[in-house]
Amino acid sequence: MSTIAPHTVTEDTLVERWESLSIDPGTLILSAQGTLAPVGLEATEWGIEDEPTVLLPQFTRFSHNLEFGAMLGRGGTAEVTAARQLALQREVAVKCLRKDKASPARARQLIREARVLGALQHPGIVPVHLIGTDEDGQPMIVMRRVQGTAWLDFVHQGGHLRAPAGEPDPLEWHLRVLMQVCNAAHFAHSKGILHRDIKLSNVMIGAHGEVYLVDWGMALAFDPACDIDVPLARDETEVLGTPGYMAPEMAGVITDHLRPRTDVYLLGGCLHMILTGRQLHGEGSLLEKLARAWASEPWAYEERVPGELAAIATRACRRDPYERYASAEAVRQEIARFLSRRTSRRLALEARLRLRALQELVDSDDVFAPDVHELYAECRFGFREALRDWPDNPDALEGQDAAAMAMASFELGEGRADHAAVLLEELEHPPEELARAVEMRLQTRQRHSRQAQRMRARQRSERSGRFERAVMLYAAALLWGVVDVALGALDRSGRFTPGYGTLTLISLSHGATIAATVASRRRELLSNLANRRFLMVQGLAVLAPLLLWWMALTVGLPVYVGIALLQLLFGIFAAVAAGARPAMLGPAGLFCVGFVMTTLMPGIAWEILGIFGALGMGLAGWTWSRQGRAHRRP
């Protein structure tokens, strides 16, 4: 911004800067409104070339068309009076020079201000209806009458803010006023005009909420192509403005930098005033304020000041113009963004209250599920609304995660681990302990589910092939019963003496029966585990006796002993099957009884084998059939 390094910016360097521009600090005049006025305005003598009739030859005297009323305001050089414009029957405000302060320079300044206002037709700038002269030939401006209050009156020392009746949030109201001031300043900048004295006392608040940026007497044209009759910024040679708000290029009269970013600095000063209740450059003597403006050190804001607003004010008031916002519109957008985020924060805060109630309810012993779900829905909705206004709202993001964790904990406690898992999937970093508990519960549930599936499959398996299993057992019962009883009768009659060879043929016949059944009903008997296990047991029931006969022949055991051992073997097979089906204990008992009776009565061993073999295998067939029907319903 200047050739002076920031660390050497002091009161002395400012005075040296003035001396290089031939500015005498003793000539700086502070008006009653706290503004540095041009030195030339104090010259009150009129020369011939400065007579009002020469200055204003094209203006018409129209004071006779006005009916004057009470004085609305009185400044250092001008005064504003209420009037009624008779021709149009409307209330207006008339601005003219004070009689004791009239001078050619002030007349020119008032005329230029009128021309600026006339050129800047914007809702935030008071429109000029007419410009003319009074009876003395002094310039008069007829403007819209703004019935309202200066913005400064809504800010008290120390930063206490008030707002018009009906405004629930004073800070938001003030920020929206500042946004409208930004609009007016940005419009003026688009026309090549710099206000140069934006401050709270130069903003009027109308009775219906209108916002006007007034007092354009210090306006400059920063664009040389501007066709409005105002001085060019590059020609400025004086220290002008309000010291409490002034930008460093204004204090040091660095004309190259008198640009829209200068007004951006002043807008930052207005925001500072809202946040603190004090002017940016503080209290003290005129020179001290100007030295602070020249240095423009960053302000250390109190913790009560929202950090985002402090950052906006700090950036807008950077010493280097190129570190400030590029335009008044950029300042307005930043404030609008803050207000949007502020709404988001408010929504997040309300949702937090519901989140706290949700967490307390989940942790309590008396939990009513509908209340939990209702509270979760409310806080979830609140956080989502907050994130819609500001997707990066940290409070809403954290609260949304906390709500999901609380609800996941509740669902887990209610035995709905799958619901809890869905909630945890919404979290980027779910709590390890809760995630582990949900995972363990899901694994347990899956294990139980698999067991139930296996049980249902097993039950279905037992039903499938039930008829074929029963047929094989009934056929074996018939084979062993009829053949063995007949062999016993032949043995006692002396016609035929059966031995181990006969037993081998019976076992092979049993095996042939099983093979024939499997061949004819292969699809049913080999389609499930239960049937395959049954066939394996039947196969053992054929092979084991063959092995038994071979061993008995080798050892030389009597036939009745082999018959007894066969029944014991069948009893053992039935007892093993009883581990899965307790009903098989019945056949096991019959085979064991047959074993005991054969041992006691070896003379009728074949009849005992036929009777108890038929009964045992028949009962086993009936048991398999009954077991299948019992498991029709899981």
Instruction: Give the model confidence (pLDDT) of 476-485 as tens digits.
Output: 778 777 887 8
In DSSP terms, 94 is beta-bridged to 81, 142
**pLDDT tens by residue, 80-94:** 999 998 888 899 999
Report the C-alpha gap between 547 and 527 in whole angstroms: 29
Beta strands in 207-313 (DSSP E): 211-213, 220-221
The class that CATH gives domain 1-30+149-326 is: mainly alpha
Which tens digit of pLDDT belongs to each residue from 431-452? 778 778 878 877 777 777 777 6
Contact 352, 331 (CB under 8 A): no
CA distances to 62, 266, 271, 340, 341 from 306, in Å: 52, 20, 12, 14, 12
CA dihedral for 598, 600, 601, 603, sign (positive or negative): positive
Left (φ > 0), alpha (ψ -120 to 50) or beta: where does 7 sit? Answer: alpha
Query: Do residues 409 and 398 lie in contact, with contact meaning Cβ atoms separated by under 8 Å?
Result: no
The contacts of residue 81 (CB under 8 Å, 6+ apart) are 68, 69, 70, 71, 72, 93, 94, 96
pLDDT digits (tens, 9 = 90+) for 316-343: 999 999 999 999 999 999 999 999 888 8
Kindly report the backbone phi and psi dihedral angles of residue 247, in degrees, each rounded to the nearest multiple of 5, phi listed first.
-80, 155
DSSP sequence for 177-201 = HHHHHHHHHHHHHHTTEE-----GG
pTM above 0.85, yes or no: no
Sheet with 139-144: strands ordered across: 60-61, 128-133, 139-144, 90-97, 78-85, 66-74
Same fold, 1-30+149-326 and 50-145: no
How is 442-473 classified by DSSP, letter by letter?
HHHHHHHHHHHHHHHHHHHHHHTTHHHHHHHH
Contacts of residue 387, defined as CB under 8 A and 6 or more positions apart, other chains included, come to 344, 393, 396, 397, 400
Position 410 scores a pLDDT of: 84
253 in Cβ contact with 236 (< 8 Å): yes
User: Both tokens of residue 217?
Assistant: 């007497």
The domain 50-145 is placed in CATH, from the list 3.90.10.10, 3.30.465.10, 2.60.120.10, 3.30.200.20, at 3.30.200.20
What is the arithmetic mean of pLDDT over 52-63?
53
Mean pLDDT within 377-398? 89
Show me where the domains of the chain are located.
1-30+149-326, 50-145, 335-456, 464-630
In the numeric block, which tokens belong to residue 195?
């206000």
- Report the largest interatomic distance among the alpha carbons of the chain, rounded to a whole angstrom: 173
> What are the pLDDT digits (tens) for 196-207?
999 999 999 998
